[in-house]
Amino acid sequence: MPWRQSHLDAASDWTATAPGFVVAGLGLGASSAVLSAAALATVEPDRSGMATGIVNTLRQIGTATGVAICGALFTGAASSHVHTALDGAAPAARITALADAVSSGAGARVAAGLPAAQRETVAQVARAATAEAIHTILWVGGAVALIGAVVCPLLLVQNRPVQSANERTERDSLARTPS
């Protein structure tokens, strides 16, 4: 979906991003069950709690890291757009202040506080900078997902096949049988 959402512009509303959020939510929901099942299938039953804990911990670390990276990308792209769009139109300190406000999500509030003559121009720049920053995040996220889809199968080559539940049950019952 990043290719569809990469066409966001200053006039786009929230409905332009809704399909991508739905697809992402479905993908995340589906992958959670698969990750847990894969972790449980590769460990001994008495270590299942540890495997599930590791999966959940790594999921949280990945989410926090992803949010931090997306935030940094958003801040950089929005700030860069504001500086480029307003270069020479105002003192550098004012442009920097506006860029900081837009990159922190307060561009509309800053524009609302300006005189009417400047309000629409600054609001348009703020909306365009936000759209550009989202565009950047979506393309980087899509590229990371594509790289992951290519690399993961290469890394998941296993030395032993995953045992089915029946094979694990049979193995465990044999291990518990007194000799």
Q: Which domain holds residue 95?
A: 2-7+16-156
> What pLDDT, in 10s, does the model give residues 55-104?
889 989 999 999 999 999 999 999 999 999 988 888 888 889 889 999 98
Report residue 177's pLDDT band, with 50, 70 and 90 as the boundaries.
Answer: low
Backbone angles phi, psi at 3, to 5 degrees: -65, -35
Whether residue 49 lies inside any domain: the answer is yes
The answer, yes or no, to whether residue 109 has pLDDT greater than 90, is: no
The answer, yes or no, to whether residue 110 has pLDDT greater than 90, is: no
Higher pLDDT, 103 or 5: 103
CA–CA distance, 25 with 34 (Å, rounded to integer): 15
pLDDT for residue 143: 93
Report residue 7's pLDDT band, with 50, 70 and 90 as the boundaries.
Answer: low
Whether residue 25 lies inside any domain: the answer is yes
**128 contacts 111 by C-beta, under 8 angstroms:** no
Whether residue 163 lies inside any domain: the answer is no
Sign of the CA dihedral with 73 first, then 77, 78, and 80 last: positive
Integer angstrom CA distances of residue 179 from 74, 166, 173: 64, 22, 12
What's the mean pLDDT in 166-176? 59
pLDDT for residue 171: 58
Whether residue 109 lies inside any domain: the answer is yes
Sign of the CA dihedral with 84 first, then 113, 94, and 130 last: negative
CA–CA distance, 115 with 120 (Å, rounded to integer): 9
Give the number of other Cβ atoms within 10 Å of residue 127's Cβ.
19
Whether residue 178 lies inside any domain: the answer is no
- What's the structural domain count of the chain? 1
Whether residue 172 lies inside any domain: the answer is no
> What pLDDT, in 10s, does the model give residues 118-160?
888 888 999 899 989 988 998 998 899 899 889 888 887 754 5
Torsion angle defined by CA atoms of residues 104, 108, 113 and 115, in that order, rounded to the nearest 10 degrees = 130
Whether residue 166 lies inside any domain: the answer is no
> What pLDDT, in 10s, does the model give residues 18-56?
888 898 889 888 888 888 888 888 888 888 888 889 988
pLDDT for residue 57: 93
pLDDT for residue 179: 54
Long-range residue pairs from 54-63, CB within 8 A, at least 24 positions apart, any chain? 59/32, 59/35
